[in-house]
Chain A
Amino acid sequence: GAGVSQSPSNKVTEKGKDVELRCDPISGHTALYWYRQSLGQGLEFLIYFQGNSAPDKSGLPSDRFSAERTGGSVSTLTIQRTQQEDSAVYLCASSLGGGLGSTEAFFGQGTRLTVV
């Protein structure tokens, strides 16, 4: 597709279950970002990938959160043993490069996660 694709668009899960959120970036984009946005709030940085490596994982809130990226393309964010406070919209973005030029990040539509 032409844009950043995230799946699923909505996910309802029971507390304690594991979930996987997928992000398919724009082809050729080497930089990939994950953010979390709670209702009416700003974007909380989670993790950044440059290619398949993650130079910055500083935003992952706990060891229940992990992410990987394979083939310099698709990324998966995994939340283990979900808690109600994990409920939020998870946004993925990609950009052409990780440099400082005017390579804006393009965002997906997000995955709305609800933990019940």
Chain B
Amino acid sequence: AQKITQTQPGMFVQEKEAVTLDCTYDTSDQSYGLFWYKQPSSGEMIFLIYQGSYDEQNATEGRYSLNFQKARKSANLVISASQLGDSAMYFCAMREVNSGGSNYKLTFGKGTLLTVNP
């Protein structure tokens, strides 16, 4: 079973508008962490935002916010006021505990390609 599901292979947004990128996850752990990364065409992986499973408030980092709905196991990324430079691949990832607490594997979704139109 997929641990991380990103159902939108591609998304388009107009410059200056907000966009939501979907992410759902599957875990039986109570304690886990969720991450979003950006990968522009240059190929580098850029960390954007983190949400811990016990965090009661949604994480925010500048124009990025994470809409965390624990009961639904979703961790959607919201980008406000999109810019042309936001065009990139976006990956959702989860770190959970396996094997008696010794394995903190970091698993990624397949990504969403965001295109910001002028």
Residues of A in contact with B (beta carbons under 8 Å apart): 31, 33, 35, 41-43, 45, 48, 50, 55-56, 89, 91, 93, 95, 98-102, 104-107, 109-110
Decide yes or no: A35 and B108 within 8 Å by CB, A100-B33, A105-B47 being known contacts: yes
Stretch in B18-26, B71-79, B93-101 touching the partner: B93-101
Contact yes or no, B99 A42, CB < 8 A: no
Contact yes or no, B103 A107, CB < 8 A: no
Chain A residues within 8 Å of B68, by CB: none
Q: Which of A50, A89, A100, A101 has the most CB of B within 10 A?
A: A100
Q: Which of A31, A56, A89 has the most CB of B within 10 A?
A: A56
Q: Across the A-B interface, how many residue pairs have beta carbons closer than 8 Å?
A: 66
Contact yes or no, B52 A100, CB < 8 A: yes
Known interface pairs A50-B103, A56-B99, A100-B32; 13 further A-B residue pairs with C-beta atoms within 8 A, sorted by A's residue number? A35-B108, A41-B110, A42-B109, A42-B111, A43-B108, A45-B108, A55-B102, A93-B45, A100-B52, A100-B53, A100-B104, A102-B33, A102-B52
Chain B residues within 8 Å of A91, by CB: 45
Chain B residues within 8 Å of A100, by CB: 31-33, 52-53, 95-97, 104
Q: Which of A43, A56, A93, A109 has the most CB of B within 10 A?
A: A43
Cα–Cα distance between A105 and B106 once the two chains are bound (Å): 9
Partner of B47, one of A33, A45, A48, A106: A106
Cα–Cα distance between A50 and B99 once the two chains are bound (Å): 13
Q: Which chain A residue has the least Cβ–Cβ distance from B50?
A: A102
Q: Which chain B residue has the least Cβ–Cβ distance from A44?
A: B108
Q: Which of A33, A48, A95, A102 has the most CB of B within 10 A?
A: A102
